[in-house]
Each structure stands twice: as structure tokens, then as C-alpha cells.
Structure 1
Amino acid sequence: MHALPLAVMAFILYVAAASWQGLTLARRVPPRTALVRSFGLLGLLCHLPLAIGLLDQGASLLPGLSTSAVLASGLAVLTLLVISLFKPVLNVATGLFPLAGLTLLLAVGLPSPERHPGMTPGIALHALSSALAFAFLAIAAFQAILLGVQNQALRHHHIRGVVQSLPPLTSMERILFELIWAGMALLSLAIASGFVFVDDMFAQHLVHKTVLSLLAWVIFATLLVCHHWLGWRGMRAVRWTLVGYLVLLLAYFGSKFVLEVLLNRG
């Protein structure tokens, strides 16, 4: 099957899952976690062949924009589905699933950069840890948005609607920091493996990506340290999480977009 029909099917399934979970948040329909997970899993099953197809086109030294976007969004969906079996994070699907579907549709239409044979095991470790770090921190960013909505509603004594559907505020915060800790461990591995296994950052236009990734690491590390020692929480934690994620998003995809799409350089 061609890429576009698969991408459209995945998008429809993701939106269907997100819509039901969104209606559940709004207390318009009863919770159906199995239904949401099933539609999300079906969407992922349409998503995975596209990721495998891009990787099989001839593994590049480092994945290009379309491959990175499809891989990272697919891993984010998979990670959320797995975590939701143990933690009450399925509400994140309301934002994450449609974004993954939209990313898939856009990635299908992006030009593929010039390929170079042979992805070494070290580069594969770097690419996988980078994608997993992005997945965990993407889930953390959406969790932070929900936490911000909940925090603001409680501050203004609005206790109906979405707030009633969310876990307690303390649980939401605890899950947020657990996600950040996991993402930080993977991001640390990604940065370290990049320094070890990527030979020439200047020739591969990776200096700006490395600098921005390190900046994101510093932002998240500052948040974790200040949360532990100074008790940072609430809207401050939300803002720092979102800023760190936006910097990471720019690091992972900003430079690739400029090089591969705007400048048409593989």
C-alpha cells in the first residue's frame, strides 16, 4: 500500500481516539480506555510500516527530517500507550494522537535527503535514544499543558468539567516529573552517544543541534534540581517544561527543516 493512504488511515484512527478521550475529558461520554487504546494501536499499526519503509530506503548516517518525524511520533504514541497501562496519562492522547497523525501526513510529502549507506550501531543507538527522549518529553509537555489547565481552574475555583476528569493535582505533578526524569536519562544518553559516535559535527551541520540539545538538557536539569531543593511546582514547572520541550523541538527538527526543505541539502 502506498504511503499516503496509510498516513490518512493512521490520521483518522488517531483523531477518532483523541476525540473520544477529549469528549471523556469534557464529561460528554463515559470513559472507554480500551476503545481509545485500540484506535491508537490501530493507528500505530498503520504508522509503523511508513517508519520501516523510510528506514529501509537505505539507512543514512543520521536520519533525515521525514524519517526522524515519523519515527519520533510513532515512538511517542507507542510510549504513551505503554505508560497508560500503568499511569493515568491517557488524557495526553487528546493532543498527542492528532499531532502524530498530522506529523505523519506532513512527513509523507517531505523530500527525502540524499542517502548514505550504513548506519553504524553507535549511530543507531544515538538515533533511537534521541527519538525515545523526544517521545517521553513530548508526553511530559502535553502532561504539563493539562496540569496548567487544572492548576488555573483550581486557582479560580472552577471545579467542574475537565478538572473533574483529571487525576488529583499531586498525581498529575508526580507523573510529570517522572516523565521528565525518564526523558532526561534518555536525552543524556543521546547527547553522550552523539559526542562519541558522530565523527564530524561541523561537516554534518550538527553544531546548532548539539548546542540546542544541551540547552534543553540544562533547562530540564534546572527544573528537576529546583523542584527537589526549592519545591518548584505548579505553573512554574509547567512553563519550564514547555520551554525545554520547545528548545528540544527546535534542536531536533528546526535545523533539519532548514537544511532539507528550505535549502534542499541532504
Structure 2
Amino acid sequence: MQALPLAVMALILYVAAASWQGLTLTRRVPPRPALVRSFTGLGLLCHLPLAIGLLGQGDSLLPGLSTSAVLASGLAVLVLLAVSLFKPVLNVATGLLPLAGLTLVLATGLPSPERASGMTPGIALHALSSALAFAVLAIAAIQAVLLGIQNQALRHHHIRGVVQSLPPLTTMERILFELIWAGMALLTLSIASGFLFLDNMFAQHLAHKTILSLAAWVIFAILLISHHWLGWRGLRAVRWTLGGYAVLLLAYFGSKFVLEVLLSRG
């Protein structure tokens, strides 16, 4: 099957799952986590073949923009499905799944690189840990948005609607920091493996990614340290999480977009 029809099918399934979970959040339909996971899983079955097909392509050591976007969004959905079996994070699907579907559809229209010989195990470790870090922290960012909405509503004594459908505030905060800790571990592995297995992390085509990735690492490290020692939480934690993720988004996709799309240097 061609890439675009498969991507569109994944988008439809993701939107269906996200819509039901969104209606659950607004208390318009009863919770159906099995239904949401089923639609999400079917969408992932359409998503992953595109990621696997792209992963062995590229004219450089690291995956290009389309490959990185498809792989990272697919891993984010996979991680969300897995974590939702143990933690109440399925509400993140309302924001994550439509974004993953749109990313997949848009990525199929980006220039396709020529097939190359593939990556070494060390480079593969760097690429996979980078994608996983991005995926986990993407879930953390959407969790932070939900936490911010909940926090603001409770401050203004609005206890109906979405707030009633979310887990308690303390649970939401605990899950947020658990996700950030996991994402930080993966981001640390990504940066360390990059320095170990790439010839020069500050080469011209990697400098922006390296500097911004290190900046994101510092932001998340400050947040975790301050949460532990200074008790940072609530809206401050939300702002730092979203700020760190914004920097990471620029690190992973900003320079790739400029080089591969704007400057047509795939």
C-alpha cells in the first residue's frame, strides 16, 4: 500500500480515538478506555510500517526530517499506549493522537532521501534514544497542558466539566514528573551516545541540534532539582516543562526543516 493512504487511515483512526477520549473528558460519553486503545492500536499498525520503511533510508548518518517525524510520533503513540496500561494518562491522547496523525500525513509529502547503507549500532542507539526522549517528553508536555488547565480551574473554583474527569491534582503532578524523569534519562543517553558515536557533535550540520538539546537538558534538570529541593509545582512546573519541550522541538526538527525543506538540502 502506498504511504499516503496508509497515513490517512492512521490519521482517521487516531482522530476517532482522540474524539472519544475528548468527549469523555467533557463528560458527554462514558469512559471506554478499551475502545480508545483499540482505535489507537489500529492506527499504530498503519503508522509503524511507514516508520520502519523510512528508517533504513537516508543520505547521511542520522535520519532526515520525514523519518525523524514519523519515528518520533509513532514511538510517542506506542509509549502512550504502554504507559496507559499502568498510569491514568489516556487523556493525553486527545492532544497527542491528532498531532501524530497530522505529522504522519505531512511527513509523507516531504522529500524522500535516497537509500543508503544504513546506520552503525552506535548511531542507531543515538537515533532511537533521541526519538524515545522526544516521544516521552511530548507526552509530558501534553500532560503539563492538562495539569495547567486543571490548576487554573481549581484556582477559580471551577470544579465541573473537564476537571471532574481528570485524576486528582497530586496524581497529575506525580505522573508529570515521572514522565520528565524518564524523558531526561533518555535525553541523557541520547546526548552521551551522540558524543561517543558521532565524529563531531559541534559540526556545522549538528551544532544547532547539539546546543539546543543541551539547553533543553539544562531546563529539565533545573526543573527536577527545583521540584525536589524548592518544591516547584503547579503552573511554574507547567511553564518550565513546556519551555523545555519547545527548545527540544527546535533542536530535533528546526534545523532539519531549514536544511531539508527551506534550503532543499536533504
TM superposition score category, shorter chain reference = over 0.9
| Residue equivalent to 1:7 | 7
| Residue equivalent to 2:119 | 119
How do residues 88-103 of structure 1 correspond to structure 2 at under 5 angstroms? 88-103=88-103
When residues 208 and 58 of structure 1 are mapped into structure 2, their CA distance, relative to the original with a 3 A threshold, is closer
| Residue equivalent to 1:107 | 107
Q: Secondary structure at the match of 1:209?
A: helix
User: Equivalents in 2 of 1:214, 1:127: separation in Å?
Assistant: 16
Contact 2:7–2:105 (8 Å) recurs in 1: yes
| Residue equivalent to 1:167 | 167
Would you identify which runs of 4 or more consecutive aligned residues in structure 1 move more than 4 Å?
A: none
Residue 79 of structure 1 pairs with residue 79 of structure 2: yes
Contact 2:141–2:241 (8 Å) recurs in 1: yes
How do residues 1-266 of structure 1 correspond to structure 2 at under 5 angstroms? 1-57=1-57, 60-201=60-201, 203=203, 205-266=205-266
Q: Secondary structure at the match of 1:141?
A: helix
User: Equivalents in 2 of 1:45, 1:206: separation in Å?
Assistant: 32
- Range that drifts further, 55-64 or 39-48: 55-64
Q: Secondary structure at the match of 2:174?
A: helix
The one-letter code sitting in structure 2 at the alignment partner of 1:169 is L
Q: Deviations over 1:2-42 (max 9, x none)?
A: 00000000000000000000000000000000000000000
User: Equivalents in 2 of 1:210, 1:12: separation in Å?
Assistant: 35
- Range that drifts further, 201-210 or 115-124: 201-210
Q: Secondary structure at the match of 1:158?
A: coil
The one-letter code sitting in structure 2 at the alignment partner of 1:15 is V
Contact 1:65–1:260 (8 Å) recurs in 2: yes
User: Equivalents in 2 of 1:73, 1:139: separation in Å?
Assistant: 10
CA drift of 1:109 comes to: 0.2
CA drift of 1:53 comes to: 1.1
Unaligned runs of 5+ in 1: none
Contact 1:16–1:39 (8 Å) recurs in 2: yes
Q: Deviations over 1:145-195 (max 9, x none)?
A: 000000000000000000000000000000000000000000000000001
User: Equivalents in 2 of 1:229, 1:159: separation in Å?
Assistant: 30
Q: TM-score, normalised by structure 2?
A: 0.98
The one-letter code sitting in structure 1 at the alignment partner of 2:155 is R
Q: Secondary structure at the match of 1:229?
A: helix
The one-letter code sitting in structure 1 at the alignment partner of 2:3 is A
User: Equivalents in 2 of 1:82, 1:114: separation in Å?
Assistant: 33
Identical amino acids, percent of aligned pairs: 86
CA drift of 1:236 comes to: 0.1
Q: TM-score, normalised by structure 1?
A: 0.98
User: Equivalents in 2 of 1:199, 1:219: separation in Å?
Assistant: 26
CA drift of 1:61 comes to: 1.1
Cα RMSD (Å): 1.2
CA drift of 1:112 comes to: 2.1
When residues 260 and 15 of structure 1 are mapped into structure 2, their CA distance, relative to the original with a 3 A threshold, is same
Aligned residues: 266
Contact 1:113–1:265 (8 Å) recurs in 2: no
